[in-house]
Amino acid sequence: MNLPDFQNIRIYQSLGRIEARSLEATDQLLLILPAKPSAAEFRKIPQGAKMHRVWRQSATDSTPAFISRLGNKKQTLVVAGTLPKDASAFEQLTLGRQLVAAACTQKAGCLGICVVGFDGGRQAVICNNILAAALAAAFELPSYKSKSSPAKIKSIRLIGVDGRVDTARTQAEALGNNLARWLTTQPPNKLDAARYADLARDLAKAKGWAHKRFGTAELAKLGAGAFLAVAQGNDNDSASIVRLRYRPGTKNTRADLSLVGKGIIFDTGGTNLKPFLPMLDMHGDMQGSAVALGTLLAITEMKLPIAVDCWLAITENRTGPKAYKSQDVITAANGKTIQTIHTDAEGRMALADALVLASREKPGIIFDYATLTGTCVSAITNRYSGVFTNRAELHPRLKRVGQNCGERVWPFPIGKEFMEALRSDTADIMQCSPKNDGDHILAASFLSEFVENDTPWVHMDLSAGDNDDGLGHIGSKFTGFGVRYTMSVILDENLFKEDAQANDSP
């Protein structure tokens, strides 16, 4: 499978005063103004008096605030929106998605972004958040139509910025997010388990990552019975756990950060077969692994000086005479026996062994990502994702990361009290509860049993991984939620820093 260029948009910057020639270079202009823009702010823009009149005539709280055209040679389309001075990251990203969608109804060309009425620091932040939306919209997701879709955006220009805006992080995050969405959108016959493992190998070669593929025979030797139980229903030997290693010249042999992703290529539900509608989009059940891989790509793009491991648990969950069944007893890689209850709770089985393998490497912290439970969507909708951790003191910081970066999360508890619901008479632990009450909490509590060496660990249940109307700056159904969040964990919160210092020597 050939990989596309995940970010091939040229970005230009026009600094200082907003000049008519800068606007002349744009086909569409996104104009972002304060909630109640003054006439003086409009005067900073060529033909601002005209736009001020259009804004006053519109006088609604709708988005876009108004749409107009400049009287220049290109008849530049102006799509304007307003933001409160204290607008959150999520509000800024959402405005960006809405304005870009309105602008991209026109023929593709140069998209301008102009932020007026905010001080330099705030202007740069807003520019980057609107840029994030533009980069997401510019990327072409997989399409197998006989006629290719026309490009939406050919280049982007930041206009009237007070000083050069550093866009490196936004571009790296967009690169990782685009990879995650591209993988998740692929039809399951185009990206099967074998092709996915091969793609990870090819990316590793291109990016300088160390690569190791644990096939089913090697996993059997490692005792990874939980993962292999899910894989045994496949009609071929394509399942594997892939480990990728990024070591940018650091002296660490251990990872500061380990990324673990659920990579269920297609989930039928197994023996407990899903109904039609819940199965329809199950090619997206591998998006946890796609987020882990996209995050690794973004880290690599920025050349961050941290050691990172990435574990992808790749298999299908199929029906058939060899598929695992309810009441099977399975032994995981850490020796714990599992009484299976429902074969559609396969994600926690695949992740269990991946977490054992990852935690045995004693990383500074583990982040795992999975589209794991429907109860998490029921609890917080698909506008937030759930987070769980074996370090309860991290809850305020995990929540703060989401508020600051715009990929919002809500912390839930885990612990021994919840394990009472998973007590088994025939094995060490039940896979899930037949009652299904609070399954997102029970699933995370189950996973915590497979994190060894008291390794700090955060689990993200990707309830915001898909949204028919898009979410934040992302306009597609599959959102790639988690890449931007994890980059904020690394760059803004340093969650793993204290633990990473302990890993300086082997």
The C-alpha angle with vertex 301 and arms to 297 and 304, in degrees rounded to 5, equals 100
Tokens of 451: 């994190």
Tell me whether strands 385-389 and 409-411 are parallel, antiparallel or unpaired. Answer: parallel
Q: Return d(Cα 100, Cα 306) in angstroms, integer.
A: 34
Is the four-CA dihedral 245, 248, 249, 252 of positive or negative sign? negative
CB 417 within 8 A of CB 321: no
Q: Return d(Cα 310, Cα 40) in angstroms, integer.
A: 51
CB 298 within 8 A of CB 245: no
* 3-class SS of residue 359: helix
One-letter identity of residue 77: L
Q: Return d(Cα 399, Cα 408) in angstroms, integer.
A: 7
Annotated catalytic, 348? yes
DSSP 412: -
Q: Tell me which of 50, 74, 169, 274 is the catalytic residue.
A: 274
Total Cβ atoms within 10 A of residue 362: 18
**Separation in Å, CA 140 to CA 301, 469, 488:** 20, 17, 25
One-letter identity of residue 276: F
Q: Tell me which of 181, 245, 318, 348 is the catalytic residue.
A: 348
Q: Return d(Cα 247, Cα 254) in angstroms, integer.
A: 9
> What are the backbone angles phi and psi of residue 195, rounded to the nearest 5°?
-65, -35
Annotated catalytic, 397? no
Percentages helix, strand, coil for the chain (3-state, rounded to 5) are 40, 20, 40
CB 135 within 8 A of CB 172: no
Tokens of 470: 């898009």
Q: Return d(Cα 452, Cα 136) in angstroms, integer.
A: 37
Q: Return d(Cα 49, Cα 220) in angstroms, integer.
A: 72
To which H or E segment does residue 458 belong?
A: strand 457-461
Residues with active-site annotation: 274, 348
